[in-house]
Amino acid sequence: MKKDMGKLVVLMITAFMDMVGILMVVPLLPFYAKAMNGTGVMSRVLGAVGMSGDGAVVSLLIATFAIAQLTSAPYWGRVSDRFGRRPALMIGLAASSIAYVIFAYTRSLDWLFISRIVQGAGGGTVGVIQAYVADATKPQDRAKALGWLSAATNAGVALGPVLGSAAAAAIGFKGPGLAAALMSAVTMLFAYHYLTESHDAAAVKASGKVVRRSGEAIWRIVSHSAEPASRLIWIYAITMGAFQAMTTTLALFLALKFGVTEKTIGFFFTYVGVISVITRALILGKMVDHFGEARLSRLGMVLLACGLGGMPLAGSIPTLAIAVALVPLGTAFTFPCVTGLLSRVVPQHERGLYMGVQQTFGGVARVAGPLYAGWAFDRLGPGIPFYTSAVIVLLTILLGLDMENYTKPADAEATSKELAASI
């Protein structure tokens, strides 16, 4: 692992700086949307369909980013498999920088939506970074390496909003966008200088191996759901949807049951974030060494389910704190381990593609989970989104009961050959 640390550190810094840029902008979207609502063609269109309210506009802006990201992720993954990880990552960072400049200078809702589309397309390179990590580390070290990567991104989530608000206070309306654009440009230059290519695309091309199209890979996951890669991606997506459902209604639930206000809700999310960073950076590696990726991912799903189901049952703040803590523990054990296992069972020349496809399925879940949670909270009761998410996660464990087989080199090689032969 020590030999791989240099490239991993560069990737962690890149991911951290990229996330800082994203979060400098996102918390300010409601204010920008409110200021620009009523301007441009989009405002007239939304007004015609009854979605001109500030809340609806903000929701659509967030959804626009998610849709652009999930649709572009497999494409970027395929590009990285055919031409290399480095070019795909550079283009993604450049797209993000352009999006932030648009965000800074926009004065209409039309251009605000365009900035979100471009930013989402640039953000589709998440799978490329994960493939980079998989290329640069040994199979047995990938889960812990991916955990450190996600710890870096979580740290960016914590710092970004503070810097965005500071830029707004110091420079004004254009400040956050310009600061984020500068951050993204610096990140691109940093990665260009320090990141070396990890994927020999020329050798893959010379070997005659073909990287299938994004749509073909997605259909493979849907139509051959019993295959190891398909099951791992479904596990990732379902647990991601359950987690996002929780985050959507958590503030409303806490306000209703415990009287939490907008002045105190931030402490809960900070609490979750701190546990997540500490777990992924300091605890995950030791747990992987002790339990293995397969067992630890199942343990993570059990903890996530217990946390989700325990929150509505909590009768006091201390018991609530215990239930809430189980959620970041569960996701910290589940997501890196599942992604690490996925890197083992797919052909090396399609690793970027499948990492991108995983992000697509996860992106759909990030949209579907909150939609269900909001509906269930209003129609069925405040505790129902948590209970149903817990049950779904527990049932999902059944998809990965034989995940230990995925870590066997012979099995992984056989799976790779099987998938490659199906092209």
pLDDT given at position 55: 67
Token pair recorded at residue 295: 């067992």
- Whether residue 326 has pLDDT greater than 70: yes
- Whether residue 147 has pLDDT greater than 50: yes
| pLDDT, tens digit (0-9, with 9 covering 90-100), for 20-40 | 888 888 777 777 887 888 787
Domains (range + CATH), the chain: 1-196 (1.20.1250.20), 213-423 (1.20.1250.20)
Give the pLDDT mean for 204-214: 64
Q: What is the dihedral of CA 70, 111, 60, 94, to 10 degrees?
A: 20
Give the pLDDT mean for 182-209: 77
- Whether residue 411 has pLDDT greater than 50: no
pLDDT given at position 53: 75
Summary mean pLDDT of the chain: 84
Q: Given pLDDT bands bounded at 50, 70 and 90, which one contains residue 205?
A: low
- pTM for this entry: 0.77
| pLDDT, tens digit (0-9, with 9 covering 90-100), for 90-124 | 999 999 999 999 999 988 889 999 999 999 888 87
Residues 160, 19 contacting (CB under 8 angstroms): yes
Give whole-number Cα distances, 153 to 79, 212, 264, in Å: 23, 30, 24
Distance CA 339, CA 345 (A): 10
**Cα torsion angle, 326, 329, 331, 334, sign:** negative
| pLDDT, tens digit (0-9, with 9 covering 90-100), for 339-382 | 989 988 888 788 888 888 898 898 889 888 888 888 888 889 88
Residues 40, 109 contacting (CB under 8 angstroms): yes
**Spatial CB neighbours of 177, under 8 Å, sequence gap ≥ 6:** 25, 100, 101, 102, 103, 104, 105
| Burial environment of residue 292 by CB neighbours within 10 A (0 to 12, 13 to 18, 19 or more) | middle
pLDDT given at position 391: 96
pLDDT given at position 412: 42
- Whether residue 3 has pLDDT greater than 70: no
Residues 65, 123 contacting (CB under 8 angstroms): yes
Query: Given its phi and psi angles, is residue 292 left (phi above 0), alpha (psi -120 to 50 degrees) or beta?
Result: left
- Whether residue 54 has pLDDT greater than 90: no
pLDDT given at position 413: 43
- Which residue is associated with the tokens 């690490």? 340
Residues 144, 337 contacting (CB under 8 angstroms): no
Of 132-146, 223-237, 376-390, the range with the lowest mean pLDDT is: 132-146
- Whether residue 408 has pLDDT greater than 60: no
Q: What is the dihedral of CA 116, 119, 124, 130, to 10 degrees?
A: -130
Give the pLDDT mean for 69-89: 85
Token pair recorded at residue 301: 């799903």
Return the axis-axis angle of helices 54-83 and 40-48, rounded to nearest 10°: 120
Considering the chain, what percentage of its residues have pLDDT values greater than 70? 90
Q: Tally the C-alpha atoms within 13 A of residue 334's C-alpha that lie toward its C-beta.
A: 30
pLDDT given at position 39: 82
